[in-house]
Amino acid sequence: MNHALSNPKFNFHPDQKVYHGKVRDVYSIQDRLVMVASDRISAFDHILPRAIPYKGQVLNLVATHFLNASKDIVPNWLERVPHPNVAIGKACEPIRLEMVIRGYLAGHAWRTYKSGERVLCGVTMPEGMKEADRFPEPIITPATKAEEGHDEDISEAEILSRSLVTEEQWNQLKEYTYALFALGTKMAEEQGLILVDTKYEFGIYDGKIILIDEIHTPDSSRYYHLDGYAERQASGEKQMQLSKEFVREWLMEHGFQGLEGQVMPEMPDAFVDQITARYVELYEKITGKAFEYGDTEQLEQEIEEAVQGVL
């Protein structure tokens, strides 16, 4: 097994402050953020017990690919990438919302729909749809961004009534979300993929809204294979997808959905290797580049040296 970056402890700077997220460790150093993409993996708002080799590199490099491609239409936080696991950029005041946008009926939206509900986050979904059908237009179904525990669905009306953002800010968030999804959809199609759904996070920097965190990665997005999509949909076959939904499905098959009293199943080596392969496949598919498997034995030392070399 390759070495995985699970719970590293870095000392980049004497005055650093650190926040450990589910997947990323965020170091605040003066007016900059150093974001280290670990190899941890989460599902149902729980961190799984085993880390996935190379997953952090895939997330960071896919996010970099799309942040660079979208910076002319939506300003973002990224400034440099000194190591495949690391991104450095502007420290922002985060907006505590996830801007979830869905082009197709899948995942949480499908589970809601299948239960008989037709309204998600204040948005009415059409009757007569089946799993993986395309919505007439993409829908935005936001969630509150919880510091701990579960994110919660929220409607536009609730966002404004609770003054989570101003109406002007909300309109800007929606405009940016639609623009990013349109770009992501176009870039995915060029690589033979369908961008099914995704989420974006934003922050305030110098009084303006900018894009933060990751975009269009397998942790934040779901992709279908474009080739054969229509045929599979017509015949009722399950769509071929590139995302971590298969991890959620494996957990559900083994009796775990993050609910109280449920026990996290053990992940065998073969399944861990399968997850790595799926992440690398998405990287190569979405970017059109070959993934470079570097030596991971000295990963922590290499990261620390790379970051200290640019601070």
pLDDT tens-digit map of 148-162: 556 799 999 999 999
Pick the closest to residue 218 from 202, 199, 242 (CA basis).
242
Percent of the chain, pLDDT > 70? 98
Q: How far apart are CA 45 and CA 138, in angstroms?
A: 25
> Domains of the chain, with CATH numbers?
17-93+271-308 (3.30.200.20), 94-242 (3.30.470.20)
Of 245, 238, 240, 200, which is closest to residue 222 (Cα–Cα)? 245
Between CA 307 and CA 304 the distance in angstroms is 5
Q: Tokens 């620390």 — which residue?
A: 304
pLDDT confidence tier of residue 274, bands split at 50, 70 and 90: very high
- Its pTM stands at 0.89
Determine which of 77-91, 146-160, 162-176 has the lowest per-residue pLDDT on average.
146-160
- pLDDT single digits (tens) 14-23: 999 999 988 9
User: What would the pLDDT profile of 216-233 be if each residue is shown by its tens digit?
Assistant: 998 899 999 999 999 999
Q: What secondary structure does DSSP assign to 53-108, as a single string?
A: TTHHHHHHHHHHHHHHHHTTTS-BSEEEEEETTEEEEE--EE-SEEEEEEEES-HH
Categorize the per-residue pLDDT at 251 as very low, low, confident or very high, splitting at 50, 70 and 90. Answer: very high
pLDDT computed for residue 149 by the predictor:
55
Q: What does the pLDDT read at residue 146?
A: 67
Q: Which of 308, 307, 276, 298 shows the shortest CA–CA distance to 58? A: 276
The DSSP secondary structure of 248-275, one letter per residue, reads HHHHHHTT-SS-TT--PPP--HHHHHHH
The share of the chain scoring above pLDDT 90, in percent, equals 88
What's the confidence (pLDDT) of residue 276?
95
E strand map for the chain: 17-20, 24-29, 32-37, 42-43, 46-47, 78-83, 86-90, 93-94, 97-104, 119-120, 123-124, 134-140, 143-144, 152-153, 193-205, 208-212, 221-225, 241-242
Cα dihedral 257, 218, 54, 229 sign: positive
